[in-house]
Amino acid sequence: MKDLMMDTPLLITSLMEHAERNFPTREIVSVSSDNPNFRYTYKEAFTRTRQLANALNSLGISLGDHVGTLAWNDHRHFELYYAISCSGAVCHTVNPRLFPEQLVYIINHAEDQVIFCDPMFVPILENIQDQLTTTKHFIVLTSEEQMPESSLPGLLCYETLLAQETSDFDWPDLDERTPCSMCYTSGTTGNPKGVLYHHRSTILHTYAQAMPDVFGVSASDCILPIVPMFHVNAWGSIYVGPMTGTKIVLPGAKMGDGETLQHLIETEAITVSMGVPTVWLNLLAYLNESGKSVPTLKRLYVGGAACPSTVITEMKDKYDVDVHVAWGMTEMSPLGTVNMFKPGMEHLEGEELLEAKLKAGRGVYGVEMKITDDENNELPWDGVAFGSLKVKGPWVLSDYYKAEPGTTLEDDGWFETGDVATIDKMGFMAITDRTKDVIKSGGEWISSIDLENTATDHPKVAESAVIGVYHPQWTERPLLLVQLKEGEESSKEEILAWYEGKVAKWSIPDDVVFVDTLPHTATGKIQKFELRQEYKDYKLPEVDV
Ligand code: AMP
């Protein structure tokens, strides 16, 4: 018998139409390059989105074409997300922090036909323009008055393009598996790899994001996405807004700055925000030194890297904000797990409570997880056994863009995340390391993340990295690299003494090197590969392990 339900495709277009009809007056506030306090409604945003769709048409963009963006979180980038995807093209968000050779590689690899960029990124494009093989137009996201002088050929102004178009546009009926957006991973070795999302995966991911134990936002909330729109669709927040009717505040170029964040949270009455750990450390530092507060803020989500415990404890104790760790990756759109407590965890307090809160959280419906040993045997969910973390689900990639088909997943259809993890009885996953970063000392594995978290808890330490260095007896032993907070002084003895009683004695680093800065990837992760290269011949002192 034929099924008897409507076959409605899951399209991003429906988010736009839903918001326009149900939340026409809900606001989008944006800090853009030419206006630090731009505000309009969903209705106005999607009216401009239709003008933009006409402009894309005039630029010759058609179904399946790739359109690049190099932009911060603001209202014009928001319009691009919807206009490009809903007209059947692919919105390729490019990370402006990549090295020039990586930018050239990904823009050419994605075959971007046009690129929209913030004025401050024009020099980056000028620098690489003669190596771009497919890009025909560059459009600056500003008004005619603010257009920069530039040597870019075919340079156009965004506002002028829009002004030439009407707001009548019939969105095409697309298949739900039409690609809508793409993002390249910031791999620390080799070329970045492209992940191509489609409308269906994006809508399913958005439903999941909106659930109560995930972002849990409603039409009464106001969100501040501090995760960049150039990295994994700002964790899906740009789609959750129109689905649920939340007010969205887009913080622009200074989004990592504590003062800017506090100001936006206070003036716009932000209730929920999401970002990487560094952002919350910056906000905390500003709050502590200015004496200001964030009274409307209820919840923060932190992901992308391990969360320092001070973010959780200080945010709660001093500012009454709940911090939830989340885990995911570019290949997963990115949502995988969120740390939301379940009944049966109410009794936790003190160290036990903090330990539970620091875990990456439990799998969201839609993502299956397992951990395996080197022979692909599934390991128990006992919170002790750790192994390679693998995932499956409708918003997990099946292959990288232009990779040889069938080469990305394991034979049994699981995607190996490259993370090493434990999963406890309650289903809470904790990342212990990246597969490549784990330190193999004798037969034992030492988690570099645990050692880094302990170092970062030291009041004088700003940031730290732990890498494995060759050792004749143990194969590898941990070396700790420390960047101290400004004006602080310390010694190897002081830092190593800090570890006593906090981690197993045999896993305490053998040595400490004080550095001025640590190298970061374009998405803010520490470049361990570079550090391993730099310290590959490092001679560790004789230590009793
Ligand atoms: P990306 O694809 O650039 O978003 O990076 C994904 C990777 O970031 C994951 O595979 C993890 O290694 C790391 N990551 C993400 N969230 C967390 C977290 N909560 N704790 C530790 N590492 C994380």
The string of DSSP letters for 245-262 reads T-EEEE-GGGTT-HHHHH
Model confidence pLDDT, tens digit, residues 104-134: 999 999 999 999 999 999 999 999 999 999 9
For residue 414, count other CB atoms closer than 10 A to its CB. 19
Model confidence pLDDT, tens digit, residues 273-327: 999 988 998 999 999 999 999 999 999 999 988 898 999 999 999 999 999 999 9
Question: Could you give all domains of the chain from N- to C-terminal order, each with its CATH number?
Answer: 9-20+31-242 (3.40.50.12780), 437-534 (3.30.300.30)
The confidence score (pLDDT) of residue 159 equals 98
**Residue 360 CA: which ligand 1 atom is closest?**
19
Coil/strand/helix, residue 64: coil
Instruction: Show the ligand 1 pocket: residues with CB < 6 angstroms.
Output: 185-186, 232, 303-306, 325, 327, 329-330, 334, 360, 417-419, 431, 434, 523
What's the gap in Å between 277 CA and the centre of ligand 1?
A: 11
What's the gap in Å between 127 CA and the centre of ligand 1?
A: 31
Model confidence pLDDT, tens digit, residues 498-523: 999 888 888 999 999 999 999 988 77
Residue whose CA is closest, atom 23 of ligand 1? 305
Token pair for 456: 């970062």
Q: Which of 182, 186, 419, 438, when mutated, tests ligand 1's pocket best, judged by the most ligand atoms within 8 Å of its CB?
A: 419
Q: What percent of the chain has pLDDT over 70?
A: 99
261 neighbors 226 (Cβ within 8 angstroms): yes
Token pair for 264: 């936006």
Residue whose CA is closest, atom 5 of ligand 1? 329
Residue 429: which pLDDT band, with cuts at 50, 70 and 90?
very high
**Residue 361 CA: which ligand 1 atom is closest?**
19
**Residue 336 CA: which ligand 1 atom is closest?**
16
* Residues acting as catalytic residues: 185, 331, 440, 445
What's the gap in Å between 336 CA and the centre of ligand 1?
A: 10
Burial class (CB in 10 A: 0-12, 13-18, 19+), 31: buried
Average pLDDT over residues 199-206: 98
What's the gap in Å between 434 CA and the centre of ligand 1?
A: 9
The confidence score (pLDDT) of residue 259 equals 96
What's the gap in Å between 94 CA and the centre of ligand 1?
A: 19
pTM: predicted TM-score of the whole model, two decimal places: 0.90
Token pair for 354: 């903090």
For residue 82, what is the enclosing H or E element?
helix 75-86
464 neighbors 446 (Cβ within 8 angstroms): no
